[in-house]
């Protein structure tokens, strides 16, 4: 059998499945987004209305820009904090010492947990009357006693971000550990002999060499952050008001609560476009030196 025919034979099932489960629905979504499709009025798709669903979002829907702001805030906080925690953990874990194996083992736990479960647990933990987090915070900071976390926009956002950081930091910690371990130790050693402080060695020698891995991690985490859905449903339901409603959750609400499928498809497509730009930059970085 020729290589081409064999490749076709091996690839066809997987490619067909990927095409059917992602590319096909993506095209249908795009098509839907140019139509008037409201499930409360009719079970069938309405007439072609061009880009009206998109102008609705950008021009007329006051919620849309609010949601975009929430999304940007969430992504920036989430990605920034996850990277800081993951990098700190990675540096810590790569140092020799007592308890590192144990720490590495338990770090798997948050990652293996369902985000929906983490979301609902956080809501429990932050209950001011009997929640483990809320009562502990209240004991340390008395002014935080009896605070309703999910009624306050900043605290609700903080709760959502913290749950996602808790879930994802281990994954990115392991990824950055791989990156740190592949840096030749001679460079750091040389800088140390020249009298550089530990912080200078890290900032001027280690960090620049870690940059390719770090960039990949940041883009990947941004994509994951834009995808967050489960924890929003089980923890904040997007509230208070729209304060924790990210674009993905907004599209869900428009589609599956208000049954405006056309508009929801347009919103989902705006999200897809943002992710696409991020993904392409990811590809460029990840494949820069690939064979």
Residues between 60 and 119 with contacts to other proteins, criterion CB under 8 A: 89, 92, 95, 97-99, 102-118
Give Dmax over CA atoms of the chain in angstroms: 75
Q: Which is nearer to other proteins, 73 or 233 (CB)?
A: 233
Give the footprint of other proteins on residues 27-46 (CB under 8 A).
Answer: 28-29, 32
Which residue lies nearer to other proteins by CB, 202 or 229?
A: 229
Nearest approach, Cβ of residue 243 and other proteins (Å): 20
Nearer to other proteins, 77 or 165 (CB): 165
Rounded to whole angstroms, how far apart are CA atoms 84 and 165?
10
Residues 236-275 that bind other proteins (CB under 8 A): 248, 251-252, 255-256, 261, 264-265, 267-269, 271-272, 275
Q: Report the nearest approach of other proteins to the CB of residue 193 (Å).
A: 14
Q: What radius of gyration, in Å, describes the C-alpha atoms of the chain?
A: 23
| Half-sphere exposure for 107 (CA within 13 Å, toward CB) | 22
Q: Which is nearer to other proteins, 156 or 267 (CB)?
A: 267
Give CA–CA dist 204/191, Å, rounded.
9
Residue 155 has φ and ψ, to the nearest 5°, of: -70, -35
CB of 75 to other proteins, least distance (A): 13
CB closer to other proteins out of 52 and 260: 260
User: Which residue, among 170, 207, 182, has the nearest Cα to 86 in the 3D structure?
Assistant: 170
> Which residues in the 116-135 window bind other proteins by CB under 8 A?
116-118, 120-125, 129-130, 132-133, 135
Is-contact 37 45, C-beta < 8 A? yes
Q: How far is CA 197 from the centre of its chain?
A: 35
Distance (Å, whole) CA 215 – CA 212: 5
In the complex with other proteins, which residue's Cβ is closer, 103 or 196? 103
Name 83's Cβ contacts closer than 8 Å, sequence gap at least 6.
172, 214, 217, 218, 221
Determine which residue in the list 83, 157, 160, 177 makes contact with other proteins, applying CB under 8 A. 177
Strand segments (E) across the chain:
none
Tell which positions 181-240 bind other proteins, by CB under 8 A. 212-213, 216, 220, 223, 226-227, 229-230, 233-234
- Check residue 8 for interaction with other proteins (CB under 8 A): yes
Shortest reach from residue 268's CB to other proteins, in Å: 4
Round to whole Å and give the CA distance between 211 and 277. Answer: 20
Question: Is 145 or 203 the residue whose CB approaches other proteins more closely?
Answer: 145
Confirm if 285 and 212 have CB atoms less than 8 A apart.
yes
């Amino acid at each position: 059998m020729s290589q081409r025919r064999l490749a076709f034979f091996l690839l066809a099932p997987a490619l067909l499945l990927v095409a059917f489960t992602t590319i096909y629905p993506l095209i249908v979504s795009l098509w839907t987004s140019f139509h008037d499709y409201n499930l409360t009025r009719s079970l069938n798709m309405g007439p072609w209305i061009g880009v009206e669903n998109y102008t609705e979002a950008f021009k007329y829907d006051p919620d849309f820009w609010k949601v975009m702001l929430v999304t940007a805030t969430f992504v920036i906080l989430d990605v920034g904090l996850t990277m800081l925690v993951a990098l700190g953990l990675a540096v810590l874990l790569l140092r020799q010492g007592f308890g590192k194996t144990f720490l590495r083992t338990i770090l798997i736990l948050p990652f293996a947990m369902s985000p929906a479960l983490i979301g609902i647990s956080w809501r429990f933990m932050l209950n001011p009357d009997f929640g483990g987090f809320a009562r502990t915070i209240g004991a340390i900071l008395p002014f935080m006693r009896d605070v309703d976390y999910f009624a306050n926009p900043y605290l609700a956002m903080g709760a959502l971000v913290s749950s996602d950081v808790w879930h994802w930091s281990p994954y990115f910690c392991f990824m950055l550990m791989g990156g740190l371990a592949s840096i030749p130790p001679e460079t750091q050693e040389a800088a140390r002999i020249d009298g550089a402080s530990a912080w200078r060695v890290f900032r001027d020698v280690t960090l620049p060499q870690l940059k390719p891995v770090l960039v990949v991690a940041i883009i990947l985490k941004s994509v994951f952050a834009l995808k967050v859905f489960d924890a929003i449903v089980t923890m904040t339901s997007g509230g208070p008001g729209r304060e924790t409603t990210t674009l993905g959750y907004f599209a869900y609400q428009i589609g599956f609560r208000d049954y405006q499928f056309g508009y929801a498809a347009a919103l989902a497509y705006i999200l897809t476009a943002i992710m696409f730009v991020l993904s392409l930059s990811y590809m460029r970085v990840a494949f820069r030196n690939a064979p």
